[in-house]
Structure 1
């Protein structure tokens, strides 16, 4: 039986379909996973998620499986090594932002106990369930993503504009933006958090 998915999912891309079916919109409370999505969303800026998704395993290997402690300690030699890695997106600003954000991430953990506690406090620890009928209704940013973006920037994070933050919120299940006819909308709405 064919499952009805959100319109943005390419039906000829099995990796993308699996990402939509198994990950996108599922609430994430694990700090390392939240950090991974924050970094990947930053690398996506100006590109398609498909590009990043197909390089995700390469990113994981290149960036020490998104271990914030290790990334925070990257030096110029490591940054140059990443700049030579054709298997990832080689953008110096984004790589430097990744190192910066690892440091800010660790500071956030120290201050709030965990990054999860920090980020999920904006939604009282529960996903916001939207009921969009069409892709045209889904916003690229919201007042809440504006607020989170502003706070992240004040804390020193880079590549955390409101659109990137909203994409992070969607990916990590802070909002359920699956379209109402998508099989995942109902499944995720029924979960108890």
Structure 2
């Protein structure tokens, strides 16, 4: 079987590919973590963001929604200056505004996961690409979710970032059809 090429032999990227990417997740803390990291990636490589993941976990108390939603401007500035996170002020502030947006969703949905997975009737979109070049950077689904999230006050959730987020949380499986970690192949490997 031919594995996806994007990890390019990097151990951290390979572990993420093998153990997390495109595997359905519903844990709210994990979803918020990946939303934050995908937003931080905008304009950067995923390898850079993954290398800073532990710093993000420390800075944002393992992505505790209540903690993140209550951060002050001073707290955010301290995080920017003290932790090894992406130093873009807007991306750092988006952690607070996105935590607040997730909290606001609870008036309508039981959880952030319920909101997200309602778009696919709780079922992942499983693609069967044969080459990396076939994998899109966005889809009608990511465009719709991006639009709806922006209306709800989320930041750094454009259609491309949202598509990456959907892959990250397993709402979309874009492993190559020949990859041992594609949903159809994983059933036999797990």
Shorter chain as normaliser: what TM range? over 0.9
Kindly tell me the number of residue pairs found equivalent between the two proteins.
Answer: 188
Given that 2:55 and 2:83 are in contact with CA atoms closer than 8 Å, whether structure 1 keeps it comes out as: no
**What is the rounded CA distance, in whole Å, between the counterparts of 2:74 and 2:154 in structure 1?**
22
Unmatched runs of 5 consecutive residues or more in structure 1? none
2:128 — aligned with what? 131
Deviating beyond 4 angstroms after TM superposition, the runs of 4 or more aligned structure 1 residues are 188-191
1:68 equivalent to 2:65? Answer yes
Q: CA RMSD in A?
A: 1.5
Normalising by structure 1, report the TM-score: 0.93
1:37 — aligned with what? 34
Superposition pairs of residues 115-126 of structure 1, within 5 angstroms: 115-126=112-123
1:153 — aligned with what? 150
1:7 equivalent to 2:5? Answer yes
Greater displacement, 88-97 / 181-190: 181-190
Equivalent residue for 2:159, pick from 153, 158, 162: 162
**What is the rounded CA distance, in whole Å, between the counterparts of 2:187 and 2:108 in structure 1?**
31
**What is the rounded CA distance, in whole Å, between the counterparts of 1:39 and 1:86 in structure 2?**
15
